[in-house]
Amino acid sequence: MKSLIRNLTLKAMALFCTATLQAAVTQPSSVGNHHPDQNFYIFLCFGQSNMEGAARPEAQDMVSPGPRFLLMPAVDDAQRGRKMGEWCEATPPLCRPNNGLTPADYFGRTLIASLPDSIRVGVIHVAIGGIRIEGFMPDKIEQYAKTAPNWMVGMLKAYDNNPYERLVTLARKAQKDGVIKGVLMHQGESNTGDPEWATKVQTVYDRLLGDLQLKPEEVPLLAGEVVQAGGKGQCIAMNKQIDELPKTIHTAQVVKSDGCTNLADNLHFDAAGYRELGCRYGELMARLLGYEPVRPYIEQPKAMEVPADAIVAETTIPGNDFPKVDKEHRAYFKIGGLKPTANPVLDICSKKYDMHRDAQGNWFAVTDPLPVGFHYYFVNVGGQNFVDPSTETFFGCHRQAGGIEIPEGPEGNYYRPQPGVPQGQVRSLYYFSNEQQRWRHAMIYTPAEYEQGKKRYPVLYLQHGMGEDETGWTKQGHMQHIMDNAIARGEAVPMIVVMESGDIKAPFGGGENRAGRSQYGASFYPVLLNDLIPYIDKNFRTKADREHRAMAGLSWGGHQTFDVVLTHLDKFAWMGTFSGAIFGLDVKTAYDGVFTNADKLNKQIHYIYMNWGEEDFIKSGELVKQLRNQGIKVDANESKGTAHEWLTWRRGLYEFIPHLFR
C-alpha cells in the first residue's frame, strides 16, 4: 500500500508540473465561450484557519482525485505551476501555497464519488487564519485591514486586502464555465460570543448572492461547527451560535463536528478531522442535490490493540500510559507530537518496527516478545535517533537513550528493593583529578550500616562498558539493590562500591584494541590509581590495602579491569569481568607473562570471575579455557538466554560479590 501511494503521489506531482500543457484535460470544455457547462458544479469556500487548512496533508491526500474535481486558485502558486483564475486539479493545498488540508478537499472528493460521472466539481477557496467575519464584509474590510494584527498582514495582502472582492471576481469568471451550486463557510472562532455574528454572516451571504445574481434557494450556505475536542474545544461555545444560524438564514445548513479529531491546540482539526468534516459537508450537499451520498475511499488510521494484562513499564515516566509490557513480553509504544508525515521507526533489540498513526494522530508500535531485562531503544525519524519522551533516559550507546525494562518473575528479586532490607546509599560526588587537571564525577555506594559506626570497609571499583557512563550500574544495573539484598542475606560482606566514567563514553576511534595495548580508555588508568583511589581512601572509611580492594567491569570495563589489575597487583587482590571485551590476549606473553606463573598469580589474586551471555557476541569461554590450561584458577558462568545486555551483567555481579573479601 505504501508503495502504491508513493507511486500515485509522484504521478500526481507530475500532473501539477504539466498542468498548463494538459489544459484540455484539466480545463472545463466551456472555457472561451459563453455557454456554461450545466454539469460543472462550482462551490465558493471562505472562512478562517480551519477553512484555510491547519493540518499537514498525508500521502493519501496528495493523490489527485482526477479531472472531475477542480480548483480555481485564488492566488498564484509557482511551486505547483498554478495561476490565479486558471482551473487545475484539486489537490492540497487549496487555499495558498503554505496551507494544509481543508474541509473542501474531502467535500469535493465526496461529491464526485456521489454524483454521476458526467458531473464535475470545482471550488474557489479564499480563507485567512484568524479573520473575523468583518473581514469578508465589503463595507468593513478597508478599516479591518488597517487594524489587522501583524501576522495577518501578509495573508490579507495575498488577496489585495479584500478577500471578499477576490472571491467574487473569481466567481464571476467561473460562472462562464459552470454553475455555482453552493457556498461553504467555516468561520466563527474569532467571533465567538458576538451576538451579531449571524446577522453579519447573512450580510456576506446576501451580498454574494446579489453580486453574482444567484437565488438563495439554489445556492445554500453550508456552515461547519468548530472543534469540539470532547468538550474542551477552545471556541466550542461558538457551536451554539452556528447551530442557530438557520434561524437567521433560512437556506443555511449546519455541518456537525462531533467526533472530528483535532490537533493538540483544541482549536484546529487534524488531517483525519478535516477528512471527516469534509465528507460531512459533501454528504450534506449531495443530499441537497438529490443524490445518495457515497464516501470516497479513505485509508483509515490503524488502532493499537493492547491486551488487558499489559502494564505500564517501570521505566515509563510517571503520568504516561506508555510504554507498556504484556505477559508475553511484547512492548507497546505510543508517541504523540510528531508530524503526520514523520514515518517514525522504533529501534529496539536489534530490530526495527515501522510505527503507525492512529486516529488521534499518535504513532504506535507493538514489538515481538522481547527478552526479559533492560533494553535501550530509540525512535528514528528521518534517519535521526530520538528518545521517546515518555520514558526515563539512560546514558548508553554514547548518548542519552530511551530504555525499557521487560520484567522477570520472582527470579529477578535479587536486583529489586525488598521489604525489610536495609537500604544503602548511592552518592554522587565530584573530585579533582590532578592527572587531568579537571573535575571528574563518580558514584559511590555505601552499605546501609555505613552511617552507624566507625567500621572500615573493603572497596570494589566497578566499571561500565563502552558508550555508557558512571550512572549505568545504578540506573540500568540496579547495583545498589543487588548489594543491599546480598548483604542482608549474609551472601556478601558489606563493602563500598565506586563507579567512574572510565573515559569510554565516546565511540571507539579505531586502532589497537588488544588487551594491554589499547589506548581507548587508558587515560582513566592514572586517574584511577593516582587520584580516585587516594580520594576514596581519604574521604571514606576504607581498608586501604590490596587485600581489601577489588576491580570488575562489564564489556570494555572488563578490558580495563584486566589492564589495571594485572599491571598493578600491589593494589588489587580480586577481579571480575562480565562480557569482558578482552581481545588478542596471549596467555603466555600478556602483561609481562603474568599468567605463566600460575602459583604466584593464584596467591596474589584470591578470586577471578568471568561471565557472559548465552547469546552474547563477546564470549569469554575460550579465554577461560586457556587460563585454566595455564593453571590459573578462574570461576566462570554463562548466563542462560541473555546477550550483551544488563541482565547478563546483573547476574554476573550477583554471582561475583559473594566471593569477595572473605
Mean pLDDT, all residues of the chain: 93
**Residue 268 annotated to the active site:** yes
pTM for this one?
A: 0.65
DSSP state of 310: -
Q: Strand 40-47 and strand 311-312: pairing?
A: unpaired
With a cut of 90, say whether residue 358 has pLDDT above it. Answer: no
- The residues near 242 (Cβ < 8 Å, ≥ 6 apart) are 188, 223, 224, 225, 226, 254
**Residue of 265, 309, 354, 586 marked active site:** 265
Pinpoint the alpha helices (H) of 148-254.
150-157, 163-174, 197-212, 238-243, 245-248
**Residues paired with 44 in a beta bridge:** 124, 183
With a cut of 70, say whether residue 354 has pLDDT above it. Answer: yes
Which of helix, strand or coil describes residue 564? helix
- The residues near 206 (Cβ < 8 Å, ≥ 6 apart) are none
Q: Is the dihedral of CA 140, 179, 127, 290 positive or negative?
A: positive
Mean pLDDT of 149-157: 95
Residue 440, CA distances (Å) to 105, 282, 520, 538 in order: 60, 67, 18, 16
Mean pLDDT of 594-612: 98
**Residue of 125, 186, 268, 481 marked active site:** 268
**What are the tens digits of pLDDT across the range 65-114?**
999 999 999 999 999 999 999 999 999 999 999 999 999 999 999 999 99
Euclidean distance between CA atoms 647 and 658, whole angstroms: 18
Nearest to 313 by CA among 242, 405, 237: 405
**What are the tens digits of pLDDT across the range 29-40?**
444 446 899 999
Which of helix, strand or coil describes residue 281? helix
Cell numbers at residue 331, please? 512492548
With a cut of 90, say whether residue 13 has pLDDT above it. Answer: no
Q: Say what the pLDDT of residue 338 is.
A: 85
Q: Say what the pLDDT of residue 474 is.
A: 98
With a cut of 50, say whether residue 3 has pLDDT above it. Answer: no
Q: Say what the pLDDT of residue 5 is.
A: 37
Split at pLDDT 50, 70, 90, the class of 10 is: very low
**Residue 388 annotated to the active site:** no
Q: How far is CA 435 from the centre of its chain?
A: 42
With a cut of 90, say whether residue 313 has pLDDT above it. Answer: yes
Q: Say what the pLDDT of residue 34 is.
A: 63
**Residue of 37, 49, 375, 548 marked active site:** 49
Share of the chain above pLDDT 90, in %: 88
Helix axes 646-656, 479-488, angle to 10 degrees: 30
**Residue 49 annotated to the active site:** yes
